C-alpha cells in the first residue's frame, strides 16, 4: 500500500461498524466477549450524543430494502456486528442516560428517533412549487436504517409506538405517506393502529393520497415510481381490509373504523369522478386519477385482502360511481344518450368500470345494476357508460341484457311502472348505439318487443294505452332517429284501436317538423341504427331506399307495398327524392338486371312520369359514351395512421390474450373505419345484397390501402395465434374481428372485392402465410352468413345472389394446372382451419366453419391431382378403411408447418376422419353433375394431367366412383342410363357454360375444353350398354336417348311458349344434340324387334323425333342437314343388316318412313346425289352380294325421271313412287336449273292434272315446296332466288287453278292427303302460310287472280288466311319487311291496297296502264255471284 493511500485511509472518518468490522478481519479468532463489551462501553461513554450514535450504528452503504442488494453488500452485512449487539448497545446507553436525566427510556428513545427522522426529512430543501411527496433515494436509505434500529428497540421494549406517533403528529401536521408506509412495513407502527388512534386521520390521509397520486416522480427515478405504487397499494389494502372485512359480531370500534375507511375511499373515488368531469382526456402516465384507477387492479389489490372483502369494496365503489351526483334527469339522458357511447366516453371512466367489473359475472353485474336503478337516484351518464363498457368488454353480455330488458318490460306492464319502462328503453338504446356487433339495433329490438301480437302491450287495451302514452311523453325529448323508428315500425295495434296509434304518429311527425327533419325526406326504409356517424342526408337516404326496394323486388318479384304506398301518400318524397335516385343515369347492361326490371315494373304501373322516364333513357345512352371510372383521392393520411396503430395494438393484445381489451380495441377500429368509410353505416337486413362488379377495380386508393392493411393484419394475427394454440383454443377474437367488419357495408363490399381479385388473379403469388390467413378470414365470413348480406356478381356469373363464401369460391377457377394448384392450396388451408376451429363444437356448429363450396373443390381436386387418393374410398362410416392410420399427424401442425408441402397437408386432410364424415352430409356432397361441370371447364392444353392420365382419371370417376354411388349421395345408383344421361346433359350444356367461363376467366385462352374427353366417355358407356345389355337389345338405348333429348326440348318449349328466347334455346339444344348424335353409333337410333323369331325394324322413335324436334331447327326450312340425314340413313341400313332379310326389311322401313316422316324423305332426295355413293358402299360392306334395296333404288329412278322431264323427254316412264317423292325429285331438278326455267315450265304442262290424279298430287306437293322456298326467300333476302321461287309458284298456279286442292296447303287445319306436308317445314313457316298466300296472289296477273277467285273454296280459304294473318299481326309475329320488299309492295295494308303486277321480271315497276283490281272488290264480286 502506498504512503498517500495510507494517509487518506487514516484521515477518513470511520464509523463504529467499520471499525468493528476491521477489527474482526484483523483477528482471525473470536476474542473474549466480556473484554469486547467493556471496550464498547468505554467507547459509548466517550460518545454522549445519542443521535450521532444512532447515526453511526448500522451499515452506511445503501440498504434500501425495496431494492435488491448485491452479494458483496450482503456479505458485508453478515460480517458486521449483529443487530442484537447493536440494539443492546443502544438500549444500554438509553437506559444510562434516562437514569441520569430522570425520564423513562421510551420517552428518550422516541425523542432520539424523531430527531433522527426530522434530520433525514430535512436534509434536502423543498420548493413549494416543486414539493416532493416521496423521499429521495439517499433519504430512503437513511430512513430504512433508522427504522431497522427502531424495530430492534421495539423488540427490547425500549420504544413506545403510540408515543412515537403522537409526538410525530405533534411535529408534523401532514404526515408523509412514505413514512407511514415504512413504519407499517417494518412493523414499527401499523396503519391500522394509526386509523384507530388518530382522530384526524381522514383529513390528512385524503389530502396526502390526492397529492401523492397527482405528483409525478422526476424522470429516471424508477425506484421512486415503484415506491409510489407500493405506498398507494398498502394504503388501499389496509383501508379495504379494515373497511370491508365482514365479522359475525362487529364491535363499536370496528364499525367506526369501517366507516372511516369507507369514507376515505369514497373521498378518493369522488375526487376521481370530479376530475373526469373536468377533463375528458388522459393525463400523463402514472399521474393523477389514472394512477388511482390502477389500484383497482384485482391482482394487485387482492394480495393483502380477502376475495370477499375485495368484492364488497368493488361493489360499493360501483354503486357509488353509478349514484354519484345524480343531477341529470331522464329527459337529459334521452337527449344526450348518443354522446355517452364507449368510444365517446372518458377513457378514465371506461377503464374504471372495466376494472370494477372484471371479478364479477355479467349476470351478477346486471342484477346489481337493476338493484341500484330500483333503489337509488342514479347518474344516468355513468349508468349508460357502464352498460356500454360491459357490453364491449363482454360480447356474451348481449343475452344477459336481453333477459334484463325482458324482466324490466314485464314488470313495467304488470304494474304499469314508468320507471321500469324508461329504464328498459334507455338500456336498449344504449346497447344499440354500440353497433350491430355488440347488441341488436334499436329497430330490431323495438320490433321484437312490440311489433307482433304477442308483445307486452298486446294483452289489453290498458297496456296498449300505457305504451302509447309513454311514447307520447317521450316525444319532446326524443332524438329524431327514434321517432322515425316508431313511425316506420309502429307497434302492433288492433284495427279497432288504430286511431290511438295515428294520434301518436301525428305527434311524432309534428316533432320531426319542429326539428327540421322533414317527414317527406324521411326514407322509406329509414336508417334507424343511431350509431356513431354523420346524419344521413335525404339524397343518401333515397339511394339506400332505392337499393333496398330493388332488392325486395328481386327477391319477391313484386313492387313492395312500401313503395306503392309512398307513390300515393308520400308523393312529394317519391317524386323529388326516390325517383331521381332510382333513375340516376348509368350504363345499362345488355341483359336487364333487377334495377331495370324494377324501373320497368314501375313504368307499367304508371308510377314514373313519361317525361322523366324519357329523360332517364336519353341520359343512359349518353352515359354509355362517357368514362364511368372516378378515382377518389383523399390526401388526409391521419385516419390511415390511426388505423395502422390500432391494428398493431390489437395484434399485441392478441398475443397477450386479453379478450376484454381486444373487444374494446375492435370498437375503436370500427369507429375509425366508419370515419374512413362514412357511406357504409346503413343497417344490415335480410334483403341487403352487395353488388360486386368484378371487372372494375376499387376506386379509392385510400380504401385500397385500408383493405390491404386489414387483410395483412388479420393474416398476421392468425399466424401469431397459430404459434401457440390451435384454432379451437384461440377464443373468439377472429369471429369478433369479422363481425366488426360486417357492421359497415362499404368496408365489407371492398373486402369481398379485394378477396375476389386476390383469389382469381393473384392466387399463385400468395405465400403460405397469406393463404392461411385469408383462408381463415373466408371461413369466418362463411360462419357469419346469417348476419352477412348476399352478394350479386356483375357480370352475373351466378344466377342469383349467393352467400359471401360461395361468391368467393366462384373466383377459384380450375381450368389450368396453375389455377388448380392455387385453388387446392387455399381450400386445403380453409378446410383444415375450419375443421380444427369446430373440433370442440357441436356437430351442427362445426358445419358453420367448413364452407361447402370449398370442400367440394377439394373433393374434386385431390383425387385428380393425387392418384393415391383414388384408392382411398369413403366408406359408409366415414372412415378410410384399410388406409386408415391410427396415428395421423396433427392436422393443424401439418397445415402450419413451414417444411410441409400442400401435397402432404392435402393427403393428411384426405385421410382425416372429420373430413371424410362431411362427405355424408348432403350439402358437402359433390354430385356427378357438379363433377362434370368442373371437368368440362378444364383446358386440355393446360391441364395438370396428360391425355392418358386424364382418360384414366375420368374412367375411374365415372365407373368406380359415381356409378356405384347411391343417387342420394349424388351418384347414379348403379344405373348406366343415369350415368349416360348426366354425361349427355353436361355435354349439351357445354356451350352455355363456355360463355359463362369466358366471362369468368379472361386469362384462359380458347384452346379447347375437355368436351372431347367427356364425349369419348359417353361413347364408351353407350357402347358398353349396347354390348352388356344384349338381352334387352338396342331398343332400350334408342328409347333412352330419344326420351332424354325429348325431355330437354319439352322443358324448354314449355318454359316460354312461342317466345323468341324459347325458340333460340330450343335451337341451341338441338344443334348441340345433333353434334352429339353424329358422334354416337348410328345403329343405336333404330330399334330391331324380334317378333315370332323374325327380326324387324321399328323406326317409330326416329320418326317421332324428326317430326317433333328436328324439323323445328332445319336451315333452310324443310331440309335436314347432310350429316344428320346421312347418319339416320346409315342407322337404317346398319339395323337392317341385323335382320334375316336385310333388303326386305329396309324396303318396309323406308316405305313406313315415306308415309310418316316426309322431312326425312325430302331431305334424302335433296342430298341423294351425295348420299347414294356412301349408302351403296355401306350396303355392299354390310350385305355382301345383296342387291341394292328397291326403295333406295327408287330414289335414283325418281331423280333420273325428274331430270329427264326437265330436259323435255315426255316419253320417260313415271316411277311407281309416292307423289311426295316425285314432287321432291322435281323440286330438286328445278333447283338445279340455274337459268333455264323455260324447259321446266314446259315440263309442267306434261304433268297437267288432266293426265291423271297422281300427277295432280305431285303438282300440289311441288307447289308447297315452291311456296316454302318463296317464304324462305322473303325471310332471308340474302338468298337471291325469290323471283325464281315466285315464278315457279305462278307456273304451278296456272296449272292447278281449275281444282281446289292447291288451297289445302294454305290451311293446315284441313285433314286431307296434303296434310302430311306440314311435317316437312317448320312451325314458323306453317304460321306464315297466310302471309305467303296473300303475298303470292297480290303479285299475279289480273287474269290469274280472277281465275283463282273463281276457284271452289277460295273465299273460305282467303278469309281464314286473313284472320290468321291479322292474328299474327296482333300477337307481334309480323315479319319485318326488307327494303326490297317495301319497294315491291306499295305502302298501306297489303290486303286493301295490292300493288300492280308487271309481266316483266321486275315486280317493283308499276304499270298504270293496266290497273289491277283490288282483292277486296274481287271477293265482293265473287260473293254476289
What share of the chain has pLDDT > 90, as a percent? 12
Pairwise pLDDT comparison (1012 vs 663), residue with the higher score = 1012
Nearest Cα residue to 755 out of 801, 720, 708: 708
Helix, strand, or coil here: 228?
helix
Greatest alpha-carbon pair distance for the chain in Å reads 177
What share of the chain has pLDDT > 70, as a percent? 78
Pairwise pLDDT comparison (103 vs 1197), residue with the higher score = 1197
Model confidence over 476-526: pLDDT tens digits? Answer: 988 888 888 888 788 888 888 888 888 988 898 888 888 887 666 666 664
**Strand pairing partners for 1301?**
none
Mean of pLDDT values over 288-307: 75
Please give the mean pLDDT across all residues of the chain. Answer: 78
Nearest Cα residue to 680 out of 538, 540, 480: 540
Which helix (H) or strand (E) segment holds residue 1012: the answer is helix 1011-1028
Residue 1251 pLDDT grade (very low, low, confident, very high; cuts 50, 70, 90): low
What pLDDT is stored for residue 548 in this prediction? 85
Res 530 pLDDT > 70: no
Name the residue with cell 316437312.
1320
C-alpha cell at 911: 385421410
Res 1322 pLDDT > 50: yes
Res 385 pLDDT > 90: yes
What pLDDT is stored for residue 1010 in this prediction? 87
What pLDDT is stored for residue 956 in this prediction? 92
Cα of 1420 vs its chain's centroid, Å: 73
Please give the torsion angle defined by the CA atoms of residues 583, 584, 589 and 591, in that order, rounded to the nearest 10 degrees: -20
Res 536 pLDDT > 60: no
Of 118-127, 173-182, 391-400, 870-879, give the lowest mean pLDDT range.
870-879
Q: At what angle do helices 1354-1370 and 1329-1337 cross, to 10 degrees?
A: 120
* Burial of residue 1300 (number of CB atoms within 10 Å: 0-12, 13-18, 19+): middle
What pLDDT is stored for residue 408 in this prediction? 92
> What number of CA atoms fall less than 13 Å from residue 1251's CA on the CB side?
13
| Other residues' Cβ atoms within 10 Å of the Cβ of residue 1163 | 28
| Other residues' Cβ atoms within 10 Å of the Cβ of residue 644 | 16
In sequence order, the 6+-apart residues with CB closer than 8 A to the CB of 640 are 676, 702, 705, 706, 709
Model confidence over 1057-1110: pLDDT tens digits? Answer: 456 777 777 778 788 888 888 888 888 888 888 777 788 888 888 898 898 888
C-alpha cell at 1145: 326389311
CB 1188 within 8 A of CB 1197: no
Distance CA 1242, CA 870 (A): 75
What pLDDT is stored for residue 1404 in this prediction? 34
What pLDDT is stored for residue 32 in this prediction? 61
Distance CA 851, CA 1330 (A): 59
User: DSSP string of 1079-1147?
Assistant: TS-GGGGSEEEEETTEEEEE-HHHHHHHHHTGGGG-SSTT---HHHHHHHHHHHHHHHTTSSSHHHHHH
Helix, strand, or coil here: 130?
strand
User: DSSP string of 265-276?
Assistant: HHHHHHHHHHHH
* Burial of residue 629 (number of CB atoms within 10 Å: 0-12, 13-18, 19+): exposed
Distance CA 805, CA 847 (A): 13
Count each helix (H run) and each strand (E run) in the chain, helices first. Answer: 69, 4
Model confidence over 373-382: pLDDT tens digits? Answer: 888 899 999 9
The 8-class DSSP code of residue 1057 comes to T
Res 1137 pLDDT > 80: yes
Name the residue with cell 308487271.
1398
Model confidence over 840-892: pLDDT tens digits? Answer: 777 777 788 899 999 999 999 999 999 988 887 655 444 444 443 433 457 88
Of 708-712, 826-830, 1241-1245, give the lowest mean pLDDT range.
1241-1245
Distance CA 17, CA 1099 (A): 129
Mean of pLDDT values over 222-231: 86
What pLDDT is stored for residue 1416 in this prediction? 40
What pLDDT is stored for residue 817 in this prediction? 92
Residue 776 pLDDT grade (very low, low, confident, very high; cuts 50, 70, 90): very high
Distance CA 1401, CA 1256 (A): 27
Model confidence over 262-275: pLDDT tens digits? Answer: 988 888 888 888 88
Mean of pLDDT values over 24-48: 56
Distance CA 1247, CA 1250 (A): 8
Which pairing describes strands 689-693 and 790-794: parallel, antiparallel, or unpaired? parallel
What pLDDT is stored for residue 50 in this prediction? 55
Res 101 pLDDT > 50: yes
* Burial of residue 704 (number of CB atoms within 10 Å: 0-12, 13-18, 19+): middle
C-alpha cell at 380: 344516468
Of 180-184, 343-347, 591-595, 1013-1017, give the lowest mean pLDDT range.
591-595
Distance CA 282, CA 290 (A): 8
Would you say the C-alpha torsion 1398, 1399, 1400, 1403 has a positive or negative sign?
positive
Distance CA 640, CA 647 (A): 10
Res 289 pLDDT > 70: yes
Residue 1275 pLDDT grade (very low, low, confident, very high; cuts 50, 70, 90): confident
Res 1409 pLDDT > 60: no
Pairwise pLDDT comparison (634 vs 458), residue with the higher score = 458
923-961 residues labelled b (16+ CB within 10 A) or e (exposed): ebbbbbebbbebbbbbbeeebbbeeeebeebbebbbbeb
C-alpha cell at 446: 323495438
**Strand pairing partners for 689?**
790
Res 1141 pLDDT > 90: no
Residue 1421 pLDDT grade (very low, low, confident, very high; cuts 50, 70, 90): very low
What pLDDT is stored for residue 1032 in this prediction? 52
Residue 958 pLDDT grade (very low, low, confident, very high; cuts 50, 70, 90): very high
Mean of pLDDT values over 1016-1031: 78
Mean of pLDDT values over 1265-1283: 78
Model confidence over 974-989: pLDDT tens digits? Answer: 888 889 889 988 888 8
Model confidence over 669-693: pLDDT tens digits? Answer: 887 887 788 755 544 444 478 888 8
Residue 319 pLDDT grade (very low, low, confident, very high; cuts 50, 70, 90): very high
pTM of the shown model: 0.64
Res 160 pLDDT > 50: yes
Distance CA 681, CA 1216 (A): 86
Distance CA 482, CA 461 (A): 24
Model confidence over 405-438: pLDDT tens digits? Answer: 999 999 999 989 999 999 999 999 999 888 877 8
Res 1124 pLDDT > 80: yes
What pLDDT is stored for residue 1234 in this prediction? 60
- Specify which of 688-692, 956-960, 1310-1314 reaches the highest per-range mean pLDDT: 956-960
Amino acid at each position: 500500500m502506498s504512503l498517500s493511500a495510507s494517509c487518506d485511509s487514516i484521515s477518513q472518518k470511520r464509523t463504529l461498524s467499520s471499525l468493528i468490522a476491521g477489527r474482526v478481519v484483523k483477528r482471525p479468532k473470536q476474542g473474549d466477549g466480556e473484554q469486547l463489551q467493556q471496550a464498547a462501553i468505554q467507547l459509548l461513554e466517550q460518545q454522549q450524543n445519542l443521535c450521532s450514535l444512532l447515526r453511526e450504528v448500522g451499515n452506511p452503504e445503501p440498504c434500501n430494502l425495496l431494492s435488491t442488494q448485491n452479494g458483496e453488500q450482503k456479505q458485508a452485512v453478515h460480517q458486521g456486528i449483529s443487530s442484537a449487539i447493536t440494539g443492546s448497545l443502544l438500549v444500554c446507553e438509553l437506559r444510562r442516560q434516562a437514569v441520569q436525566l430522570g425520564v423513562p427510556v421510551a420517552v428518550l428513545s422516541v425523542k432520539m428517533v424523531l430527531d433522527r427522522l426530522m434530520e433525514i426529512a430535512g436534509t434536502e430543501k423543498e420548493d413549494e412549487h416543486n414539493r416532493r411527496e416521496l423521499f429521495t433515494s439517499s433519504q430512503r436509505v437513511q430512513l430504512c436504517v433508522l427504522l431497522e434500529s427502531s424495530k430492534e428497540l421495539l423488540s427490547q421494549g425500549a420504544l413506545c409506538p403510540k408515543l412515537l406517533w403522537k409526538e410525530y403528529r405533534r411535529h408534523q401536521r401532514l404526515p408523509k405517506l412514505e413514512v407511514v408506509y415504512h413504519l407499517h412495513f417494518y412493523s414499527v407502527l401499523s396503519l391500522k393502529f394509526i386509523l384507530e388512534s388518530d382522530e384526524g386521520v381522514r383529513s390528512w390521509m385524503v389530502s396526502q393520497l390526492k397529492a401523492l397520486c397527482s405528483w409525478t416522480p422526476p424522470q429516471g427515478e424508477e425506484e421512486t415510481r415503484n415506491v409510489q405504487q407500493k405506498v398507494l397499494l398498502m394504503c388501499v389494502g389496509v383501508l379495504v381490509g379494515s373497511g370491508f372485512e365482514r365479522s359475525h359480531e362487529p364491535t363499536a370500534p370496528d364499525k367506526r373504523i369501517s366507516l372511516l375507511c369507507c369514507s376515505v375511499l369514497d373521498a378518493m373515488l369522488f375526487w376521481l369522478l370530479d376530475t373526469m368531469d373536468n377533463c375528458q382526456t388522459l393525463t400523463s402516465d402514472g399521474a393523477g386519477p389514472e394512477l388511482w384507477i390502477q389500484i383497482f387492479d384485482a391482482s394487485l389489490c387482492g394480495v393483502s385482502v380477502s376475495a370477499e372483502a375485495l368484492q364488497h369494496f368493488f361493489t360499493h365503489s360501483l354503486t357509488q360511481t353509478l349514484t354519484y351526483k345524480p343531477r341529470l334527469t331522464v329527459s337529459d339522458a334521452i337527449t344526450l344518450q348518443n354522446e355517452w357511447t364507449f368510444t365517446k366516453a372518458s377513457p378514465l371512466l371506461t377503464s374504471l368500470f372495466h376494472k370494477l367489473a372484471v371479478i364479477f359475472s355479467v349476470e351478477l353485474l346486471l342484477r346489481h345494476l337493476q338493484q341500484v336503478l330500483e333503489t337509488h337516484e342514479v347518474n344516468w351518464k355513468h349508468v349508460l357508460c357502464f352498460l356500454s363498457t360491459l357490453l364491449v368488454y363482454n360480447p356474451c353480455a348481449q343475452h344477459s341484457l336481453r333477459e334484463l330488458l325482458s324482466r324490466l318490460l314485464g314488470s313495467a306492464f304488470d304494474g304499469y311502472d314508468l320507471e321500469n319502462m324508461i329504464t328498459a328503453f334507455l338500456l336498449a338504446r344504449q346497447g344499440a348505439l354500440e353497433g350491430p356487433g355488440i347488441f341488436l339495433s334499436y329497430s330490431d329490438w323495438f320490433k321484437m318487443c312490440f311489433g307482433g301480437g304477442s308483445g307486452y302491450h298486446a294483452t289489453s287495451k290498458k297496456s296498449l294505452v300505457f305504451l302509447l302514452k309513454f311514447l307520447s311523453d317521450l316525444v319532446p325529448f326524443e332524438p329524431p332517429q327514434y321517432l322515425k323508428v316508431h313511425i316506420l315500425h309502429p307497434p302492433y295495434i288492433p284495427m279497432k284501436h288504430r286511431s290511438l296509434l295515428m294520434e301518436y304518429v301525428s305527434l311524432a311527425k309534428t316533432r320531426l317538423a319542429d326539428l327540421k327533419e322533414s317527414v317527406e325526406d324521411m326514407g322509406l326504409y329509414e336508417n334507424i341504427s343511431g350509431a356513431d356517424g354523420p346524419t344521413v342526408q335525404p339524397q343518401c337516404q333515397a339511394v339506400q331506399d332505392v337499393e333496398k326496394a330493388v332488392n325486395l323486388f328481386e327477391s319477391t318479384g313484386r313492387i313492395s307495398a312500401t313503395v306503392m304506398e309512398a307513390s300515393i301518400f308520400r308523393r312529394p318524397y317519391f317524386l323529388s327524392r326516390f325517383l331521381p335516385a332510382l333513375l340516376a343515369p348509368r350504363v345499362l347492361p345488355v341483359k336487364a338486371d333487377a334495377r331495370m326490371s324494377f324501373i320497368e315494373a314501375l313504368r307499367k304501373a304508371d308510377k314514373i312520369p313519361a317525361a322523366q322516364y324519357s329523360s332517364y333513357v336519353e341520359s343512359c345512352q349518353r352515359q354509355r359514351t362517357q368514362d364511368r371510372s372516378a378515382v377518389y383521392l383523399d390526401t388526409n393520411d391521419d385516419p390511415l395512421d390511426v388505423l395502422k396503430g390500432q391494428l398493431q395494438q390489437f395484434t399485441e393484445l392478441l398475443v397477450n390474450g386479453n379478450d376484454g381489451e381486444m373487444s374494446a380495441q375492435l370498437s375503436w377500429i370500427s369507429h375509425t373505419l366508419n370515419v374512413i368509410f362514412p357511406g357504409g353505416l346503413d343497417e344490415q337486413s335480410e334483403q341487403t345484397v352487395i353488388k360486386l362488379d368484378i371487372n372494375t377495380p376499387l376506386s379509392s386508393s385510400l380504401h385500397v390501402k385500408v383493405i390491404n392493411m386489414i387483410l395483412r393484419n388479420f393474416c398476421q394475427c392468425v399466424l401469431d395465434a397459430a404459434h401457440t394454440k390451435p384454432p379451437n383454443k384461440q377464443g373468439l377474437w377472429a369471429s369478433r374481428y369479422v363481425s366488426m367488419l360486417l357492421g359497415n357495408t362499404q368496408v365489407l363490399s371492398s373486402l369481398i372485392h379485394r378477396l375476389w381479385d386476390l383469389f382469381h388473379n393473384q392466387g399463385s403469388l400468395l405465400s403460405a402465410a397469406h393463404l392461411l390467413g385469408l383462408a381463415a378470414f373466408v371461413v369466418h365470413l362463411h360462419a357469419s352468413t346469417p348476419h352477412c348480406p348476399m352478394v350479386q356478381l356483375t357480370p352475373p356469373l351466378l344466377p342469383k345472389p349467393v352467400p359471401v363464401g360461395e361468391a368467393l369460391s366462384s373466383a377459384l377457377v380450375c381450368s389450368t394446372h396453375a389455377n388448380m394448384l392455387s385453388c387446392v392450396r387455399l381450400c386445403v388451408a380453409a378446410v383444415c382451419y375450419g375443421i380444427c376451429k369446430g373440433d370442440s363444437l357441436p356437430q351442427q356448429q362445426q358445419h358453420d366453419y367448413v364452407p361447402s363450396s370449398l370442400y367440394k373443390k377439394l373433393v374434386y381436386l385431390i383425387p385428380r391431382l393425387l392418384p393415391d387418393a383414388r384408392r382411398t374410398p369413403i366408406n359408409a362410416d366415414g372412415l378410410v378403411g384399410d388406409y386408415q392410420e391410427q396415428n395421423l399427424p396433427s392436422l393443424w401442425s401439418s397445415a402450419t408447418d413451414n417444411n410441409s408441402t400442400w401435397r402432404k397437408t392435402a393427403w393428411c386432410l384426405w385421410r382425416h376422419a372429420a373430413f371424410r364424415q362431411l362427405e355424408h352430409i348432403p350439402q358437402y356432397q359433390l354430385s356427378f353433375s357438379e363433377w362434370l361441370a368442373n371437368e368440362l371447364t378444364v383446358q386440355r392444353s393446360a391441364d395438370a394431367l396428360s391425355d392418358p392420365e386424364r382418360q384414366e382419371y375420368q374412367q375411374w370417376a365415372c365407373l368406380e366412383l359415381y356409378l356405384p354411388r347411391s343417387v342420394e349421395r349424388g351418384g347414379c345408383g348403379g344405373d348406366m342410363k343415369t350415368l349416360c344421361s348426366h354425361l349427355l346433359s353436361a355435354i349439351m350444356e357445354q356451350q352455355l357454360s363456355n360463355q359463362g367461363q369466358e366471362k369468368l376467366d379472361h386469362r384462359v385462352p380458347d384452346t379447347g375444353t375437355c368436351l372431347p374427353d367427356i364425349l369419348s366417355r359417353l361413347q364408351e358407356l353407350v357402347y358398353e350398354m349396347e354390348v352388356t345389355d344384349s338381352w334387352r337389345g338396342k331398343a332400350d338405348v334408342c328409347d333412352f336417348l330419344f326420351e332424354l333429348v325429348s325431355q330437354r326440348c319439352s322443358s324448354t318449349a314449355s318454359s316460354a311458349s312461342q317466345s323468341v328466347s324459347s325458340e333460340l334455346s330450343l335451337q341451341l339444344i338441338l344443334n348441340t344434340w345433333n353434334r352429339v348424335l353424329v358422334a354416337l353409333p348410328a345403329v343405336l337410333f333404330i330399334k330391331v324387334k324380334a317378333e315370332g323369331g323374325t327380326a324387324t325394324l321399328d323406326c317409330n322413335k326416329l320418326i317421332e323425333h324428326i317430326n317433333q324436334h328436328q324439323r323445328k331447327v332445319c336451315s333452310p326450312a324443310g331440309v335436314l342437314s347432310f350429316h344428320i340425314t346421312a347418319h339416320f340413313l346409315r342407322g337404317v341400313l346398319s339395323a337392317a343388316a341385323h335382320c334375316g332379310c336385310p333388303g326386305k326389311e329396309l324396303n318396309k322401313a323406308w316405305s313406313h318412313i315415306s308415309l310418316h316422316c316426309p322431312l326425312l324423305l325430302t331431305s334424302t332426295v335433296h342430298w341423294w346425289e351425295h348420299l347414294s355413293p356412301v349408302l351403296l358402299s355401306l350396303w355392299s360392306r354390310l350385305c355382301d352380294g345383296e342387291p341394292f334395296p328397291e326403295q333406295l333404288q327408287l330414289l335414283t329412278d325418281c331423280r333420273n325421271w325428274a331430270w329427264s322431264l326437265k330436259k323435255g323427254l315426255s316419253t320417260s316412264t313415271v316411277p311407281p313412287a309416292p307423289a311426295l317423292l316425285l314432287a321432291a325429285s322435281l323440286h330438286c331438278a328445278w333447283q338445279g336449273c340455274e337459268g333455264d326455267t323455260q324447259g321446266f315450265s314446259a315440263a309442267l304442262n306434261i304433268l297437267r292434272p288432266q293426265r291423271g290424279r297422281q300427277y295432280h298430287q305431285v303438282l300440289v306437293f311441288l307447289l308447297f315446296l315452291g311456296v316454302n322456298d318463296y317464304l324462305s326467300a322473303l325471310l332471308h333476302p340474302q338468298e337471291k332466288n325469290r323471283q325464281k321461287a315466285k315464278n315457279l309458284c305462278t307456273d304451278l298456279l296456272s296449272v292447278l287453278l281449275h281444282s281446289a286442292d292447291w288451297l289445302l296447303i294454305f290451311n293446315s287445319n284441313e285433314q286431307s292427303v296434303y296434310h302430311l306436308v306440314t311435317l316437312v317445314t317448320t312451325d314458323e313457316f306453317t304460321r306464315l302460310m297466310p302471309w305467303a298466300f296473300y303475298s303470292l296472289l297480290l303479285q299475279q296477273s289480273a287474269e290469274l287472280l280472277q281465275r283463282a277467285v273463281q276457284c271452289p273454296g277460295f273465299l273460305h280459304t282467303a278469309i281464314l288466311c286473313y284472320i290468321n294473318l291479322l292474328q299474327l299481326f296482333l300477337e307481334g309475329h309480323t315479319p319485318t319487311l326488307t327494303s326490297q320488299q317495301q319497294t315491291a309492295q306499295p305502302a298501306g295494308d297489303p290486303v286493301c291496297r295490292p300493288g300492280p303486277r308487271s309481266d316483266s321480271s321486275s315486280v317493283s315497276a308499276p304499270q298504270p296502264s293496266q290497273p289491277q283490281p283490288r282483292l277486296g272488290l274481287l271477293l265482293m264480286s265473287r260473293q254476289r255471284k
